[in-house]
Structure 1
Amino acid sequence: KMQDDARYLKRKVTVDRLDVHPTEKALVIHYEVEASILGEGGGHMLGDRKEGQKIVRLKSLSPSTDVGALAKKVVDECKLISPSHLPQVEQLLYYLQNRKSFPGEGKGQSFHRFYTPALNEEASITRVDEYVELLYEDIPEKIRGSALILQLARNPDNLEELLNNEAALGALARVLREDWKQSVELATIIIYIFFCFSSFSQFHGVVSHYKIGALCMSVVEHELKKHDIWLEDLHKKSKSAPENGSLRKDQGKALRKYQGLLAKQEQLLRVSLYLLLNLAEDTRTELKMRNKNIVTLLVKVLERDDEELLVLVVSFLKKLSIFLENKNDMAEMDTVERLARLVPCDHEDLLNLTLRLLLNLSFDSGLRAKMVEVGLLPKLSALLGDENNRQVAMRILYHISIDDRYKGMFVYTDCIPQLMQMVFENGEEEIEPELISICINLAANIRNAQLMCEGNGLKMLMKRALKMKDCLLMKMIRNISQHDGLTKPLFIDYVGDLAAEIRADEEEEWVLECLGTLANLTLPDLDWELVLREYNLVPYLKDRLKPGSAEDDLILEVVIMIGTVSIDDACAAMLAKSGIIPALIELLNAKQEDDEFVCQIVYVFYQMVFHQATRDVIIKDTPQATHHTQNSVFKKNSRDRFLSNFFTRFFISQEYDEEWGRKIQSEKFRFHNNQWLEMVESRQADDAEVYFYDNDRTDLFYSTDVMTPADGSVSPDFLSNPQAQNGDLHHTGDSNDFFDQTSSSPGRPATAYGFRPDEQPFYQYS
């Protein structure tokens, strides 16, 4: 039935990511194909997803190639790559152009010298059968025969003919499987032959057919265990050498022997791991390697000193690190500690690859913490001066700067002066996203902000931001402006410049940052009334308070700005006359479910009640303000309760309005008492019966002289003079105790309900 209804096939291709090929001068495009079968009416009937890879080989890429032109050509000719990826393609091509040669980069080129057996004869493709016969002899003849076949395999022109010789490949695979433990040299040569095939995707099938990948995994694991044994023996001899002269000679011989064995072993490891890296082009094969602990083996090899081997291992780990499971394995193996010693290093490719691997790992917060712990922060900061590695180092530093606990540590490096210099060197060009992003993060720390403002730092930042109307740069300045102490007073000279940008005809994002910077300037010497009048800001602020008049972020900043200027008595009076308080009430009605809005609006009311002009407007002319503030006392959000408590205590402690004070106190007392009664009634229902510790206290739930009568009202006498109640209740007269104290004992009510902390519980459960 589905086949009858099916009318259309829809195919969608999405590029996941672009990367460089680990061994060739080529780009690797990782994409996903989504195929859907649609019915006649266009409805979805069946669908499937499949991941794929496309390799774009760049035979013309050389040190003299125009990378920009080549990148444009690649984008134009490869339909998978959209024009928006042009900058990324250009960056990857630049990296490939400067990367040292890898094996198998082109037809007719020589492969990298993993190992070159000493032979006095030249192999011929017509004599392959003779070389295969040698594989049935003893180890020396097997080495000679395989070495001659290797000569042929290193020329890509011979690979297809060798592929058709099943007897030769079968014999090589058999010898490797049976004799690899007997001769490191023989194992190296035969794996090298299969490596030549693995350098080309179309030959991966034959390598997998003979299970060479699984065999290489066994070889690597075995060799690493052998290395551990060598080191242990060497360590034992070195400990005993100082005690005996002859032992010192033996120790010297053992060291030379170890170095010789190590050189041969590292050749075997390099060719084995390179073959595995080529096969890992297929993610299904890579998953099989992961299940056999390839990450553990690679991380152990990071302890070696051979730079070419390390380049290979770090390349492999970088490829694996894009998967969560592999990243977690690396975290367990202390990979960051092993990589830290490679930063910096003299080998340019190794350094760049190590940084790229660290960048992938830095997305994990735990691994970022480990990077700081092992001392990578100053090392990465020093690399900001390295043109080839600056961008990668900056990205890692950006990830580290996300965590508040590490922001202050940047002060102890030369990172911030370098970042500031890079910002100023941009001229009128747009600042790199990584550069301005890390500056924004670091400016949130007071010590970093002070360092950024040293000399003419703030002046130059403001000048550039205002000239370019750079929103991100102004966001950095806004973060600097939030710090009390030495930085905030520096903004006095720029209040007018910032206020002049608060206009309806400016971009909202730009106004948001300028307004946020102004709102941070809680300075006692700043004449806010003059600023509001000079730049006619009150109408703008009032208009933006209307729900839906702008994005919520901008409206919230307007509320915060009003809270800041309301500290000034003259400003508060100006705002009261302008009708801003009713506008705040309307906004509070619209945003009553948004805790941040409620908190900031309540803070504005809290500031305004200190001024006579606005106090009358809030209490008498707009009683909704007090009503909403009173309601927010009972919200769960702790910030709202904190500000509302301040507001309500003002009426009580200052005795501004006796009626409002009584209402607020009564409402809050009822709220606490109702919570207590609900808890008791709930426990009664669960346990069937309540046993009171003192029968004389059962009237607590009913006496109008003590707590709450049956109708739920609160005795006015108690509120007006709580100390006049009977001896079982007390009140200290401190409103802080009255509202906020809570009991830590499960059997004792909070002191807010009138019980002394040292009393026994007045009830217990059976």
Structure 2
Amino acid sequence: MAKDRLVVYLLQDLKVSSDNPTIYAILYHTSIHIQNCVHFENSKFLIHFKQLIHEIADSELDIRFLALLINLLRCFTIAQFFLDINTIGVILSRSFHAQLHGATLLKILSTGLNHKDCCRNLKSHHIQILIDHLSGCMDKDLMIELFRIINSVHYPESNTYPFESSFDVKVFLLQNILCYQELEEDLLLELIIFTGIIAINHESAVFFYKEGAVNIFIAILREKQEDDEFVLQIIYIFYLLLYHSATKDSIIYDSQIPSYINELMNDPNMLISSYSNEALNLLFCLDSDYANQIVNERFNWYNFQWLDSIAEQDK
């Protein structure tokens, strides 16, 4: 194809410098389709791009070059090669000190770290850098990418609080969630995902419950009930609140959460249905009245499914 030949030609003529804005712009547009990224897998081009990230002055970073990198790092093999431990550290450092393109630099990281295997190079000290920059972060775009990186990491499913910080991360989350109507949807979703990570810890779950976050999550669930990602993340938080011994009774007897979970047990989204049923399994073990209700609801659902299949066969 002509486009393929153009990409190869431009890459062959690409100088090891930062003065190629037109070439970067063309390469960016051709890399929008991920299948074209295969042309960039030649390591010499990636080494060149990595050198630019490491060595070029902040004032000379071209937004078209950074946008090209974001597109390229959607490809796993490129992200795996590009995001070594050292480069991750350099990008983090530049993101928080650059007067321009800080959020775009973090976007490069968040895109590459979407690949599960690439997260292995994101170490605890990198996470700590991200956490420590939360308190003074006023740039919403920067904060969104910051949370996307933090939320991309697989944390051990233990009751150990995974973050140490000079400020209280829980308070920061609560303050933002309480004014959720003022937040952009992307940022709100990342905050909720991060709350789920924090709420694995027993004390954190108790904190969010006592500070009234449950009512906020219910309000968000009502408003975002058509958005599967919001519903999924909030149901996961409800599951955690049912799991922790200090919050389970209040959630069962003093909130509307069980009824919301019950409504979602047969949601068309398999993940939402799965988490809802996991939460119902906890309810089943914790309260005999709910256990009977859950048995009846599940029987009615399976019976309805069976009758529906019989009706289809009779047509």
Q: Given the two structures, how large is their TM-score scaled by the length of structure 1?
A: 0.37
Cα deviation, 1:610-648, whole Å, max 9, x if unaligned, reads 3323433432332x2222122123333333223323333
Cα distance in 2 between the residues matched to 1:534 and 1:505:
14
Q: What is the Cα deviation at residue 541 of structure 1? A: 1.2
Cα distance in 1 between the residues matched to 2:94 and 2:237:
33
The one-letter code of the counterpart of 1:385 is: K
User: Judging changes above 3 Å, is the alpha-carbon distance between structure 1 residues 424 and 582 closer, same or farther for their aligned structure 2 residues?
Assistant: same
Whose strand proportion is higher, 1 or 2?
Answer: 1
**1:423-462 equivalent positions in 2, closer than 5 A:** 423-429=53-59, 431-454=61-84, 456-462=86-92
RMSD between aligned residues: 3.3
CA contact (8 A) 2:157 2:200 kept: no
Cα distance in 2 between the residues matched to 1:377 and 1:483:
25
User: 293, 296, 307: which is aligned to 1:663?
Assistant: 293
SS class of match (2:181): coil
The answer to whether 1:555 aligns with 2:163 is no
SS class of match (2:84): coil
Correspondence for 1:647: 279
CA contact (8 A) 1:499 1:535 kept: no
The answer to whether 1:517 aligns with 2:170 is no
**1:111-190 equivalent positions in 2, closer than 5 A:** none
Cα deviation, 1:547-601, whole Å, max 9, x if unaligned, reads 4131111111100101122333443344334332332122212222222211111
Whose helix proportion is higher, 1 or 2?
Answer: 2
SS class of match (1:593): coil
CA contact (8 A) 1:543 1:549 kept: no
The one-letter code of the counterpart of 1:539 is: V
Cα deviation, 1:664-685, whole Å, max 9, x if unaligned, reads 33223323434555676xx6xx
Q: What is the Cα deviation at residue 481 of structure 1? A: 3.5
Cα distance in 1 between the residues matched to 2:55 and 2:231:
43
User: Judging changes above 3 Å, is the alpha-carbon distance between structure 1 residues 533 and 449 closer, same or farther for their aligned structure 2 residues?
Assistant: same
Cα distance in 2 between the residues matched to 1:388 and 1:533:
37
SS class of match (1:633): coil
Cα distance in 1 between the residues matched to 2:182 and 2:52:
38
Q: What is the Cα deviation at residue 533 of structure 1? A: 6.2
Q: What is the Cα deviation at residue 537 of structure 1? A: 1.9
CA contact (8 A) 1:566 1:572 kept: yes
The answer to whether 1:581 aligns with 2:226 is no
The one-letter code of the counterpart of 2:221 is: L
Cα distance in 2 between the residues matched to 1:455 and 1:542:
32
The one-letter code of the counterpart of 1:596 is: E
Q: What is the Cα deviation at residue 457 of structure 1? A: 1.1
Correspondence for 1:686: none
User: Judging changes above 3 Å, is the alpha-carbon distance between structure 1 residues 490 and 530 closer, same or farther for their aligned structure 2 residues?
Assistant: closer
Correspondence for 1:590: 223
Correspondence for 1:473: 105
- Segments of structure 1 that go 5 or more residues without pairing to the other structure are 1-335, 340-357, 359-370, 684-745, 748-763
CA contact (8 A) 1:411 1:447 kept: yes
Cα distance in 2 between the residues matched to 1:387 and 1:489:
27
Cα distance in 2 between the residues matched to 1:543 and 1:551:
15
Cα distance in 2 between the residues matched to 1:489 and 1:638:
31
Q: What is the Cα deviation at residue 472 of structure 1? A: 0.7
SS class of match (1:592): coil
**1:258-297 equivalent positions in 2, closer than 5 A:** none
**1:464-503 equivalent positions in 2, closer than 5 A:** 464-468=94-98, 470-485=102-117, 487-503=119-135
User: Judging changes above 3 Å, is the alpha-carbon distance between structure 1 residues 618 and 515 closer, same or farther for their aligned structure 2 residues?
Assistant: same
CA contact (8 A) 2:196 2:237 kept: yes
Same amino acid, percent of matched pairs: 23
User: Judging changes above 3 Å, is the alpha-carbon distance between structure 1 residues 483 and 436 closer, same or farther for their aligned structure 2 residues?
Assistant: same
CA contact (8 A) 2:72 2:78 kept: yes
User: Judging changes above 3 Å, is the alpha-carbon distance between structure 1 residues 384 and 583 closer, same or farther for their aligned structure 2 residues?
Assistant: same
Cα distance in 2 between the residues matched to 1:549 and 1:498:
23
The one-letter code of the counterpart of 2:271 is: R
Correspondence for 1:414: 44
Q: What is the Cα deviation at residue 474 of structure 1? A: 1.0
User: Judging changes above 3 Å, is the alpha-carbon distance between structure 1 residues 580 and 388 closer, same or farther for their aligned structure 2 residues?
Assistant: closer
The one-letter code of the counterpart of 2:52 is: M
Cα distance in 2 between the residues matched to 1:569 and 1:406:
47
Q: What is the Cα deviation at residue 522 of structure 1? A: 2.5
Cα deviation, 1:102-130, whole Å, max 9, x if unaligned, reads xxxxxxxxxxxxxxxxxxxxxxxxxxxxx
Cα distance in 2 between the residues matched to 1:458 and 1:381:
24
- Segments of structure 2 that go 5 or more residues without pairing to the other structure are none
